[in-house]
Amino acid sequence: MNETGKGLAKDLVILALLIVIVVIPLRVFVVSPFVVDGESMHPTFENLDYLIVDELVYDFEKPSRGDVIVFRYPKDPSVFYIKRVIGLPGETVAINRGIVTITETSGKTVTLNEPYVVNEDATYTNKVTLSPGQYFVLGDNRPNSSDSRIWGPLPAKNIIGRVDARLLPLSVAGLFPGEAPKAYETLAASSTPAGP
């Protein structure tokens, strides 16, 4: 074997080792690809968007309101869903004809400003108090979303991770593509305490 052949063989062995040592563990334990199926997150995500999900982030922090997450559907764990976190453990989520109001564990009540919601479901009215370890999740395209309004709170154990990147289509590729505008922070400042 000549010098060029030896160099190529060495490069292939190094590449194979890198794949085994770095790429496979990253794929198995840290990030995973996810392809959007359906219109429940329109206009934030469209059918066939190719996303990267960070599976490690919630080992270090809890999901936040506004995070877009991928999780196992509670009624069939072999099915994966993508939705936005709206209500956190211990909070009460009230929806009145499309208007979402949260009573936080501190007793403070906020009405959410959700600029990412284009199609609202103005027919739905309900109130749910979440237990510890439960989240209330909604699709951004409310009339076309199977979410916590239909099948109830999401157990924390079903959460796979947070959507941290969109790779395709290239025209809208980027980091944190589902990040909610500062809507939640502004409302928190102007919210009023709940009554007795």
Q: In whole angstroms, give the CA distance from residue 121 to residue 58.
A: 30
> Per the structure block, which two tokens stand in for 38?
């359906």
Residues 12 and 76 in one domain: no
Q: Is 133 left (phi over 0), alpha (psi -120 to 50) or beta?
A: left
Residue 76 pLDDT class (50, 70, 90 cuts): very high
- Please count the structural domains in the chain: 2
- Select the more confidently predicted residue: 12 or 107: 107
Residues 14 and 104 in one domain: no
| Domain boundaries, position 132 | 62-160+180-191
Q: Is 32 exposed, middle or buried (0-12, 13-18, 19+ CB in 10 A)?
A: middle
Q: Looking at the domain assignment, is residue 152 inside a domain?
A: yes
- Select the more confidently predicted residue: 150 or 118: 150
Say which residues have a Cβ less than 8 Å from residue 11's Cβ, sequence separation at least 6: none
Share of the chain above pLDDT 70, in %: 76
* pLDDT tens string 157-186: 999 999 998 888 888 888 888 887 654 544
> Per the structure block, which two tokens stand in for 93?
């989520």
Residues 25 and 120 in one domain: no
Q: Looking at the domain assignment, is residue 2 inside a domain?
A: yes
> Per the structure block, which two tokens stand in for 145?
């979303």
Q: Looking at the domain assignment, is residue 134 inside a domain?
A: yes
Say which residues have a Cβ less than 8 Å from residue 66's Cβ, sequence separation at least 6: 84, 85, 179, 180, 183, 184
Residues 18 and 73 in one domain: no
Q: Looking at the domain assignment, is residue 147 inside a domain?
A: yes
When pLDDT is averaged across residues 80-95 and rounded to a whole number, the result is: 96
Compute the 3-state secondary structure of the chain and give helix, strand, coil in percent, each to the nearest 5: 25, 30, 40
The residues carrying an active-site annotation are: 40, 83
* In the predicted structure, residue 187 carries a pLDDT above the cut 70: no
The region of weakest confidence among 68-77, 128-137, 159-168, 186-195 is: 186-195
Q: What is the pTM of this model?
A: 0.78
Q: In whole angstroms, give the CA distance from residue 153 to residue 128.
A: 8
When pLDDT is averaged across residues 88-102 and rounded to a whole number, the result is: 94
Between CA 136 and CA 192, with CA 152 as vertex, the angle to 5 degrees is: 40
Q: How many Å is the Cα radius of gyration of the chain?
A: 21
